[in-house]
Amino acid sequence: MDAVALTSINEGTPVSLIEAMAAGIPVVASAVGGVPDLMGEVREEASGCRMAERGILVRSGEPLSLADAILFLLKSRSRSAKMVDRAREYVLRRYSMERLLGDMKQLYSEVLQNDSGSR
């Protein structure tokens, strides 16, 4: 079983996690910066781990919690698979090319509209 472990002490919104989620790889990550938002709502807590909708969060600098989270992935394959499915669906919807193009089109339209009104 593959998994991605992100053990940062500081992070924005890590592209490495977005890519892993899009590829259907389970993720365990330190709960820093934008990572908790990416992982979604916490559904349960156990052994220093927070089981979120789309991955597992651990406290930065707590290697035993990280180890517990990885063991959870290995022992609870069906729950891990559900997390992976939710993560993949979320990332493909939120970070798709269509969404990006739509957001850019809207931004340019707003800028042009504001610019033409100021003349």
Q: Are 59 and 65 in contact (CB under 8 A)?
A: yes
Q: State how far Cα 74 lies from the chain centre.
A: 19
According to the model, what pLDDT value does residue 87 have? 98
% residues pLDDT > 70 (the chain): 97
User: What are 35-54's pLDDT values in tens digits?
Assistant: 999 999 999 998 789 999 99
| pLDDT, tens digit, 9 for 90 and up, residues 56-72 | 999 999 999 999 999 99
CA distance 104 to 53: 28
Distance CA 20, CA 26 (A): 7
Q: Which CATH number fits domain 4-117: 3.10.100.10, 3.20.20.70, 3.40.50.2000, 3.90.600.10?
A: 3.40.50.2000
Instruction: Examine the pLDDT at 117 and tell me if it is beyond 70.
Output: no
Choose between 32 and 96: higher pLDDT.
32
Beta-carbon neighbour count of residue 113 at 10 Å?
9
